[in-house]
């Protein structure tokens, strides 16, 4: 069984993430999309909301599981029999950052990191930009699923009225 993890903050999951998870699911027996639940890094969405969004947008992918982790990613990999981490590269600056983490994760636990180049359609896309556009009422319909788009709308409506 070749099981890999697609880890991330997923705040929120974007079409770029979905593209990577879907492509990984075609290459491996099982893909675990794992949400970091770092208590020190409060996101726009709660962990429960992030998990729900991921479940919704991967419901058609039979070999994708949704999970969460706290602490070191390599510990999550060890506890779940995962031998490799999939990370997306959108740009050279992504690579500069990811290379160091990948080498450290290998040094810590022998866990491999496999880089998947981002679909050029989404190479400019990030969760933080999606949040910013949505916050100011911009159109994110081509960047996230309709479910995520609605949740963003609700989130900022709640914030505006509070
Ligand atoms: O979506 P992101 O924010 O780019 O995801 C980053 C993530 C969650 C993959 C990364 O921050 C991570 O693995 N955090 C867990 C702590 C850890 O293992 N850090 C690496 C130490 S070398």
Dump pLDDT digits (tens) for 95-139: 999 999 999 999 999 999 999 999 999 999 999 999 999 999 999
Beta bridge mates, 157: none
pTM: 0.95
101 SS3 class: helix
90 is catalytic: yes
Rounded to the nearest 5 percent, the helix, strand and coil shares of the chain are: 50, 20, 35
Q: Report the separation in Å between the CA atom of 149 and the middle of ligand 1, taken as the mean of its atom positions.
A: 25
Of the candidates 41, 42, 93, 161, the residue annotated as catalytic is: 41
Measuring CA to CA, how many Å separate 160 from each of 74, 151, 156? 39, 14, 6
pLDDT tens digit sequence for 8-45: 999 999 999 999 999 999 999 999 999 999 877 789 99
Tell me which DSSP letter residue 157 carries.
H
């Amino acid at each position: 069984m070749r099981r890999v993890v697609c880890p991330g903050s997923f705040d929120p999951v974007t079409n770029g993430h979905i593209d990577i998870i879907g492509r990984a699911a075609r290459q491996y027996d099982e893909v675990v999309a794992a949400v970091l639940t770092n208590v020190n890094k409060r996101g726009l969405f709660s962990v429960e909301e992030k998990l729900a969004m991921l479940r919704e947008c991967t419901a058609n992918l039979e070999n994708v599981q949704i999970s969460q982790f706290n602490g070191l990613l390599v510990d999550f990999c060890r506890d779940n029999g995962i031998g490799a981490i999939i990370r997306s590269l959108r740009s050279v600056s992504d690579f500069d950052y990811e290379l160091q983490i990948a080498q450290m994760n290998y040094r810590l636990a022998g866990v491999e990191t496999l880089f998947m180049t981002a679909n050029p359609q989404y190479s400019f896309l990030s969760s933080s930009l999606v949040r910013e556009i949505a916050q100011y009422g911009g159109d994110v319909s081509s960047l996230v699923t309709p479910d995520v788009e609605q949740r963003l709308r609700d989130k900022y409506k709640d914030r505006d009225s509070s």
